Structure 1
Amino acid sequence: MQGHNQEPSTDLGDNFVEMQDLGDVNQFTLGELEVATNNFSIENFVANGYYATVFRGLLEDGTVVAIKKFNDINNFRGMDAFQREVEHIYRTRHQHILQLLGICATTTQRFLIYPYMSNGSLASRLAVACDLLQLWLQLQVKTCFQERNFGELLDPDLKPSYDQQELEKIADLALSCIEKLPTSRPKMINIVEVLSEMID
Structure 2
Amino acid sequence: MKINCLLCCMSERRFTRRSSSRQSIKDCIDAKNNITTFDNISFKTDSSRRRYISEEIAKLGKGNISAHIFTFRELCAATKNFNPDNQLGEGGFGRVYKGHIETPEKVVAVKQLDRNGYQGNREFLVEVMMLSLLHHQNLVNLVGYCADGDQRILVYEYMQNGSLEDHLLDRRKFTLMADPLLEGKYPIKGLYQALAVAAMCLQEEAATRPMMSDVVTALEYLAMKTEEDGEEEDERSKL
TM superposition score normalised by structure 2? 0.43
2-side partners of 1:76 and 1:34: how far apart? 20
**Number of aligned residues:** 123
Percent identity over the alignment is 31
Instruction: Say yes or no: does 1:25 pair with 2:59.
Output: no
Q: Which amino acid aligns with 2:130?
A: H
1-side partners of 2:141 and 2:114: how far apart? 21
TM alignment of 1:118-197, pairs within 5 A: 118-128=160-170
Report how far residue 123 of structure 1 moved.
Answer: 3.0
2-side partners of 1:59 and 1:112: how far apart? 13
Query: Helix, strand or coil: the match of 1:96?
Result: coil
2-side partners of 1:33 and 1:8: how far apart? 15
Instruction: Say yes or no: does 1:99 pair with 2:130.
Output: no
Deviations 1:28-75 (A, max 9, x none): 1111100000000111111111111100001125410000000025x6
1-side partners of 2:168 and 2:122: how far apart? 27
Q: Does the CA contact (< 8 Å) of 1:104 and 1:112 recur in 2?
A: yes
Q: Does the CA contact (< 8 Å) of 2:88 and 2:97 recur in 1?
A: yes
Alpha-carbon spacing, 1:30–1:96, altered in 2? closer, same or farther (3 Å): same
Alpha-carbon spacing, 1:10–1:71, altered in 2? closer, same or farther (3 Å): farther
Q: Does the CA contact (< 8 Å) of 1:89 and 1:99 recur in 2?
A: yes
Query: Helix, strand or coil: the match of 1:9?
Result: helix
Which of 73, 88, 111 does residue 46 from structure 1 map onto? Answer: 88
* Bigger Rg over Cα: 1
2-side partners of 1:93 and 1:24: how far apart? 12
TM superposition score normalised by structure 1? 0.50
1-side partners of 2:62 and 2:153: how far apart? 17
More helix by share: 2
Query: Helix, strand or coil: the match of 2:119?
Result: helix
Which of 107, 111, 115 does residue 64 from structure 1 map onto? Answer: 107
Report how far residue 81 of structure 1 moved.
Answer: 5.8
Give the alignment's Cα RMSD to 1 decimal: 3.4
Deviations 1:48-105 (A, max 9, x none): 11111100001125410000000025x6636566445324314522233111111111
Query: Helix, strand or coil: the match of 2:77?
Result: helix
Query: Helix, strand or coil: the match of 1:103?
Result: strand
Runs (5+) with no aligned partner, structure 2: 1-48, 175-239
1-side partners of 2:58 and 2:114: how far apart? 18
Q: Does the CA contact (< 8 Å) of 1:58 and 1:65 recur in 2?
A: yes
